Amino acid sequence: MFKKILIANRGEIACRVIKTARKMGIQSVAVYSDADKDALHVEMADEAVHIGPPPAAQSYLLADRIVAACRETGAEAVHPGYGFLSERQSFPEALAKVGVVFIGPNPGAISAMGDKIESKKLAAKAKVNTVPGYIGEISGVDHALRIATEIGYPVMVKASAGGGGKGLRVVQNADEMAQAFQSAMNEARASFGDDRIFVEKFVTQPRHIEIQVLGDKHGNTIHLGERECSIQRRHQKVIEEAPSPFLDMETRMAMGAQAVALAKAVNYDSAGTVEFIVDGDRNFYFLEMNTRLQVEHPVTELVTGVDLVEQMIRVAAGEKLSITQKDISWKGWAVESRIYAEDPYRNFLPSIGRLVRYRPPAEGKTGEGIVRNDTGVFEGGEISMFYDPMIAKLCTHAASRSEAIALQAQALDAFYIDGIQHNVPFLQAVMHNQRFQSGRLTTGFIAEEFPEGFHGIALGDQTERTLAAVAAFVRARDLVRSRQISGQISAPAALARDWVVHIEDRDHRVAISAGSVDQIQIALVGKDGAERSVAIATDWEPSQPVFRALVDGKPMAVQIEQRVDGIVLTHGGAKVVARVFRPRDAELAKLMPIKVAPDTSKLLLCPMPGLVVSINVEVGQEVKGGETLAVVEAMKMENVLRAERDGIIAKINAKKGDSLAVDAVILEFE
């Protein structure tokens, strides 16, 4: 077994590998760019080596820097994580030349499966079901148009060396092809250094279901079942689970058998994933094979009990698999939510900056199951514009799917992040979505369920009343504490009993009685004057951002932010401001004027911090609704900004190559 390994990656996956290495008694070496000098993976590792400036192309993507770091530290093997160099055939070959072991598949398997065009040819030869399409490289836009016409729209324009949704566009008609083809090429070139493109049919009503395979260097190959990855946005996975709520055992084993056959065809000897598109009749088609560890591997680990990183290390060291196909069983259900630094209220645009507060829920066993949080950040750390905006992967495991979803929702409620925007409210909305809970999923789920974008989740009447009780409790605890401060000039007045909690243009009458900080009773008052007591048991203190309590005997977590204009409550995907008044003050508050937001309808604002790739219009030009105005790149993804309606360009304030802040004015309309 290795004594020291180097992790050629960053963020949560580097931290994840370090944890298993530590468990196995193996020393770890981290590598870092200038942007990551204070990162968590650097602190966790036994050693760390600086490899260059922030851009990945000048640091994490340079194989010679990794090789030099191995020589410097004496690392015997390298785990590549995912992304970066993990699927480049030249990387393990470069390591082999200096006697360093690659913790991943052999170069031949990477070559055969890492190229999407060649992998489809090989899969077809191995009699694996494949998606209808043109198996070959597309020479240009005209070629792509001809192929799309033959296949029939919609089609997918896809980078051959792509992954993670980069270099991929769904094209609905011929008019969209030129822009989609160019953007896919640009993203592929920037992310993978390879701009080859192919075209295939876009399967309607598809599910994205993948099979985890594991092989060793002695010819043994097994599968560990499937992961359901259909909840995607912009072709990037957002929520994953294992097993799939759609597959029966017959289909599961048939997909597993095809995945194993494909792996054996290329002598696959590590952990890898065979991705399939599955239609509504459980017909499945090979999509691609990822010759690396997947982001969503924790859900497979939770339901099978197999540490995939450990298996990768052992196989790389030459050991035989200690488990056979008969040893694999699936217990319970696991759900994973990817928590990103992005603003769901602004079309999920990336958010960068410092994590002023980062308080994830407690990990480990709970009464309902297991909570696991894979992360690579820490409170006070910074989310950089140079890399993927993932903050963490929150996983829950329970006996059933409904229980795992309920536990995930509870854990998301308790996940407190401040300083940047994040997608936790959106993830909560999905957890509470009836279609998601019923398991009726497709890759179009988000677009279909949130066609106008995400604007928060509506509170149910019962939840709103419960939050009103929580707000009253928080206000009462503050008042009671202030009345117990010693040395006051005069004795404080007794706490008033009647209050009004204003939430979402509705008033909730509340009765409060308190003998001490620990003895506060809350009652909701109905229109008929009848009171219904709400039992709240908690040790919450005003300095704590998460209010954890038993409310009427049920566990509840509410994020609390006390401001001058009220108490901001975040729960279940909803964020509301509760204002707690005395009855007369509530009447006067309704007379206060409402501040009107400034009119920005004639401005094109930069939706995220990013680099201007192109300005596609000129001053005086007439544009139609939907026409491309500009393209902005942020976190390795190109974002096309289009006109919302017809208009004339009056002024252009930015040019190609400019770095813009969020809300910077790109251009103005007449």
Q: Which residues are catalytic?
A: 288
Beta-strand relationship, 4-7 and 27-33: parallel
Distance CA 117, CA 101 (A): 28
What H or E segment, with its residue span, contains residue 308? helix 308-316
DSSP-based three-state secondary structure for 44: helix
- DSSP H or E run through 629: strand 628-634
In 60-147, where do the E strands start and end?
77-79, 101-102, 133-138
CA-based torsion, 659, 661, 662, 667: positive or negative: negative
Question: Residue 126 is which amino acid?
Answer: A
| In contact, 623 and 617? CB cutoff 8 Å | yes
Close Cβ partners of 462 (under 8 Å, ≥ 6 residues apart)? none
The Cα 520–Cα 268 span in angstroms is: 63
**In the sheet that 574-581 helps form, which strands lie side by side, from edge to edge?**
531-534, 519-525, 506-516, 498-503, 574-581, 566-571, 554-563, 546-551, 536-537
Q: Three-state secondary structure along 650-666?
A: EEECCCCCCEECCCCEE
- As a whole number of angstroms, the distance between CA 13 and CA 19 comes to 10
CA separation for the pair 298, 19 (Å, rounded) = 13
Residue 379: both structure tokens together: 């409170």
Coil, helix or strand for 108? helix
Q: Using the 8-state DSSP alphabet, how is residue 557 labeled?
A: E
Q: Are strands 357-359 and 416-418 parallel, antiparallel or unpaired?
A: antiparallel
Residues, the chain: 670
DSSP 164-222: TTEEEEEE-SGGGHHHHHHHHHHHHHHHHS---EEEEE--SS-EEEEEEEEE-TTS-EE
DSSP H helices, 325-433, are 401-413, 424-431
Whole-number Å distance between alpha carbons of 461 and 456? 16
Tokens of 649: 């360009």
- Asked, as a colleague might, if the bond just before 154 is cis with ω within 30 of 0, I would say yes
Say if CB 521 and CB 512 are below 8 A apart. yes
Enter the DSSP assignment of 186: H
3-state secondary structure of 328: coil
Q: Say how far apart CA 309 and CA 395 lie, in whole Å.
A: 17
Tell me the pairing of strands 659-660 and 610-615: antiparallel
Q: How far apart are CA 436 and CA 150, in angstroms?
A: 35
Q: Radius of gyration over alpha carbons of the chain, in Å?
A: 27
| DSSP characters over 340-395 | ESEEGGGTTEE--EE-SEEEPPPPEE-SSSEEEEEE---TT-EE-TTS--EEEEEE
Q: Are 7 and 16 in contact (CB under 8 A)?
A: no
How far is the C-alpha of 462 from the C-alpha of 474, rounded, in Å?
19
Cα atoms in the Cβ-side hemisphere of radius 13 Å centred on 633? 19
